[in-house]
Amino acid sequence: MKIEVKDDLVIIDGFEIYGHVDQGKSCSKCKFHLVYYEKYDSYFCPNCNFWTESKCSDPDCEYCQHRPLKPILQKEN
């Protein structure tokens, strides 16, 4: 997996998101650094391709309402 950071852009194997790699947080399963996905206001593991936080209970939440099942849509996991 190739991860590049350019200003506020994180590029994971060609998949671009606005956010940052958090060097202080790591995945509980694989210990990979977590990525903050600004659009969904949530952290995820790019290696495991799963969200580390559940969606909130507000059905009108601007962040959770359209959050996909997997953070990296083109990655099979």
Q: Provide the pLDDT for residue 77.
A: 47
Q: Provide the pLDDT for residue 76.
A: 53
Q: Rounded distance, CA 19 to CA 11, Å?
A: 10
pLDDT per residue over 22-48, tens digit each?
A: 999 999 999 999 999 999 999 999 999
Q: Are 9 and 16 in contact (CB under 8 A)?
A: yes
Averaged pLDDT for residues 41-59: 95
pTM over 0.95: no
Listed by start position, the domains of the chain span 1-77
